[in-house]
Amino acid sequence: MPRLLGGRLPPGPPLPAPLQTLLIWRSPLQFLERCRRRYGPAFTVRITSHPPLVFLCDAADVRALLAAPAEILHPGEGADTIEPLVGEESFMLHEGEEHLGGRKIVLPAFHARVVRDHAAMVAGVAAREIASWPREVPFALHPRLRALTLEVVLRTIFGASECPSDRCLYALRDRLLAMLSVTGSAILPEPLLRHGPGRAIWTRFLRERADVDRLIYAIIEQGGRLERDPSNLLSRLLEARNLDGSPMSPRQVRDNLMSVVVAGHETTASELAWAFQLLAHNPVVLERLIEELDSGAGEEYLTATIQEVLRHRPVFLFAIPRAVKQTIVLGDWTYRPPAQLLGCIYLLHHDPALYSEPHEFRPERFLEAPPARSAWLPWGGGRKRCPGLHLATLEMKTVLRTVLASTTVRPAGRKIEHPRWRSVIVTPHAGSRVVLHARRRAPRLKIDGDVSLGKGPRGRQYRAMPQISESGITIELSKAQIKRVVREAAEDDGLLGLLGGLEELDAHTSSAQLEDERLSRSLLRGLMVLASFPADGIARSVTDVAHQLGLGISTTHRYISTLVEVGVLERDPESRQYRLARKG
């Protein structure tokens, strides 16, 4: 039975509003977790400069909250924190027909089909930016990710036909990055600070915003003189009409462009920063992800990893607050004006009733089935759902794929960084400091010619007989023989059988060349591991071999154990390392 308690709200911490503000600012995750444990799935938080906020973390309540019509729960009033950034004419701050009209203009530019056409552009920007990142030393990723994602968004907004020159685009990017540094300060959510301790920061922000506006208005004016290209957002905004049929003013175009800029790069950069933190501190997940990317067999685990990052560390801890306009019942409570409600995305994603071991980073949970939309809300929900989710997903996949193609990620600290507020999202507090270590590409094995196969164990004729030359190992197989090798390698004892013929080798080099698409992955990896051991019998550790070949340690150990079993390698009893087996 809903509690009809007049104007009363669910219970919450009995602390002064300034202290609650400090707690949610300094330790948001711990504060929210503690409130749920003590007060249940609905609790009230009181912070300065805002009316009391009711946090909802029950899945059914959150679903009903997001589905409620605007005349009952009005979301526009909860987004005023970002108004200084995006402008008062932004569609993000409006509700009803004005909001829906703005979304209809923006959405086509970020449709999945359109985003796929941006794949080459995103890959080019990512490759150029990532090539400049340092190696082998700790550094903060988040500032570099912001530059990358901001350039992608700008090129998406302006398109090929109306995109300014690279010099102008980079000038706008750098000015925007400087202006948006204000999001790391408390003066956005706390307006009182703009006239006290934060006055210098606020004054600098206003000056930098004016510089950005001059550049944007110049681009808008230039775009007005060019032929329209419906594939880019600037053209669509210049062609758009208001509800009364009048064209959008330059201010409206500017504010809507800024809305996409702010929402389209800060969130993606922050999610990527969390992704690298989680991968660096979870080497088993990182190893499996690298193996999938190296194999080229698909991106099932990459997709699951991104979905788990978005679940485990959503940058939006809660959805936009909804102001109660008419009485509504949610769960055990009846809410009346002027209460403000919000769905807590973080607590929903860490509900043990929805996710087993919710605080563990485990992408495997999404391998069998995609996340349920009602229990996975990294992009928000309802009418305010993020329109750029397809572009953000493409960027995350492209950046992870590009970085892990040539490096592996190690943490720069002992623990995952704690969250720090940037405007209305949370990011790693130290900028996601990691160390990128170069991965040595595996030796290559050249395959050509046409020779017969030798007999393998149990009389099977599928054993590949290597030939040794000064340049390395060469295996010569015909196309038909390659098909047979691949087929036999798929059997349970395929690897043992295929490597069984290598026990007679007495010399190996690491300069072999490999065409992965021609032989089975198991055989080729085994040959690569074998080729990494020097002919002079010097022993090597599993870790040393793994780092040279760019394989995981557990994977390398599995192949070395197989090679020991078939008599090709042996273990040195003194050093406990491995070397080529001595004959006789």
- Whether 419 and 473 map to the same domain: the answer is no
Is the predicted pLDDT of residue 233 greater than 50, yes or no? yes
- Whether 454 and 422 map to the same domain: the answer is no
Distances (CA, A) of 228 to 154, 161, 162, 169, 225: 17, 9, 9, 20, 9
Phi/psi of residue 378, each to 5°?
-65, -25
Q: What's the whole-number mean pLDDT along residues 538-547? A: 84
Give dist(CA 529, CA 508) in Å, integer.
Answer: 11
Angle at alpha carbon of residue 350, lines to 349 and 355, rounded to 5°: 85
Provide the phi-psi class of 567: left if phi over 0, else alpha when psi is between -120 and 50, else beta: left
Residue 369 lies in a domain: no
Q: What CATH code is carried by the domain that includes residue 263?
A: 1.10.630.10
Residue 393 lies in a domain: yes
Structure tokens at 155: 């090129």
Residue 249 lies in a domain: yes
User: How many CA atoms are closer than 13 Å to the CA of 143, on its beta-carbon side?
Assistant: 12
Is the predicted pLDDT of residue 552 greater than 90, yes or no? no
Is the predicted pLDDT of residue 225 greater than 70, yes or no? no
Q: What's the whole-number mean pLDDT along residues 465-494? A: 41
- Whether 488 and 345 map to the same domain: the answer is no
Residue 307 lies in a domain: yes
Structure tokens at 407: 């490096």
- Whether 268 and 156 map to the same domain: the answer is yes
Distances (CA, A) of 300 to 233, 295, 397, 470: 31, 12, 11, 40
Give the residue among 147, 169, 160 at the shortest CA–CA distance from 117: 160
List the single range of 180-194, 263-277, 496-510, 550-564 with lowest mean pLDDT: 496-510
| pLDDT value of position 232 | 75
- Whether 430 and 448 map to the same domain: the answer is no
Give dist(CA 152, CA 449) in Å, integer.
Answer: 46
Give the residue among 151, 174, 148, 169 at the shortest CA–CA distance from 403: 148
Instruction: Give, as one character, the DSSP assignment of residue 109.
Output: G
- Whether 412 and 503 map to the same domain: the answer is no
Split into its structural domains, the chain has a count of: 2
- Whether 144 and 276 map to the same domain: the answer is yes
Q: What's the whole-number mean pLDDT along residues 304-319? A: 96
Q: Residue 429: helix, strand or coil by DSSP?
A: coil
Q: Residue 371: helix, strand or coil by DSSP?
A: coil
Final residue of a domain: which of 407, 438, 469?
438
Is the predicted pLDDT of residue 504 greater than 60, yes or no? no
- Omega of the bond prior to 338 within 30 degrees of 0, cis? yes
Give dist(CA 36, CA 45) in Å, integer.
Answer: 11
Give dist(CA 211, CA 175) in Å, integer.
Answer: 7
| pLDDT value of position 523 | 64
- Model confidence at 522, pLDDT cuts 50, 70, 90, reads low
Most confident of 83-87, 124-128, 444-448: 124-128
pTM, to two decimals: 0.74
Q: How far apart are the first and last CA of the chain?
A: 85
List the single range of 118-132, 420-434, 475-489 with lowest mean pLDDT: 475-489
Is the predicted pLDDT of residue 164 greater than 70, yes or no? no
| Average pLDDT of the chain, as a whole number | 80
pLDDT tens digits, 371-411: 998 899 998 876 667 778 899 999 999 999 999 999 999 99
Q: What CATH code is carried by the domain that includes residue 567?
A: 1.10.10.10
Residue 8 lies in a domain: no
pLDDT tens digits, 324-357: 999 999 999 999 998 999 999 999 999 999 999 9
- Whether 416 and 565 map to the same domain: the answer is no
Contact 322, 73 (CB under 8 A): yes
Is the predicted pLDDT of residue 479 greater than 60, yes or no? no
Residue 543 lies in a domain: yes
- Whether 200 and 337 map to the same domain: the answer is yes
* CB under 8 A, 24+ apart: contacts of 209-218: 209/84, 209/179, 211/175, 211/179, 212/172, 212/175, 212/176, 212/179, 213/254, 215/168, 215/171, 215/172, 215/175, 216/172, 216/254, 216/257, 216/258, 217/250, 217/254
- Whether 414 and 529 map to the same domain: the answer is no
**Burial of 414 per CB tally in 10 Å (0-12, 13-18, 19+):** exposed
| pLDDT value of position 107 | 78
Instruction: Give, as one character, the DSSP assignment of residue 251.
Output: H
**Burial of 243 per CB tally in 10 Å (0-12, 13-18, 19+):** exposed
pLDDT tens digits, 401-446: 999 999 999 999 999 999 999 988 999 999 999 999 998 654 333 3
- Whether 166 and 216 map to the same domain: the answer is yes
| pLDDT value of position 324 | 93
Contact 51, 44 (CB under 8 A): no
* Residue 433, domain extent: 64-364+380-438
Q: What's the whole-number mean pLDDT along residues 265-291? A: 95
In 306-397, where do the E strands start and end?
Answer: 322-324, 328-330, 333-335, 340-343
- Model confidence at 502, pLDDT cuts 50, 70, 90, reads very low
Neighbours of 169 (CB within 10 A): 17
Residues 6+ apart with CB under 8 A from 213: 254
Is the predicted pLDDT of residue 501 greater than 70, yes or no? no
Final residue of a domain: which of 390, 406, 438?
438
Residue 91 lies in a domain: yes
Final residue of a domain: which of 438, 461, 479?
438
pLDDT tens digits, 5-25: 445 899 999 999 999 999 999
Give dist(CA 576, CA 318) in Å, integer.
Answer: 53
More confidently predicted of 397 and 565: 397
Instruction: Give, as one character, the DSSP assignment of residue 136.
Output: S
- Model confidence at 27, pLDDT cuts 50, 70, 90, reads very high
- Whether 358 and 434 map to the same domain: the answer is yes
| pLDDT value of position 108 | 77
Residue 6 lies in a domain: no
Alpha-carbon Rg for the chain, nearest whole angstrom, is 29
- Model confidence at 177, pLDDT cuts 50, 70, 90, reads very high
In 481-554, where do the E strands start and end?
Answer: 513-514
Give dist(CA 268, CA 273) in Å, integer.
Answer: 9
- Model confidence at 467, pLDDT cuts 50, 70, 90, reads very low
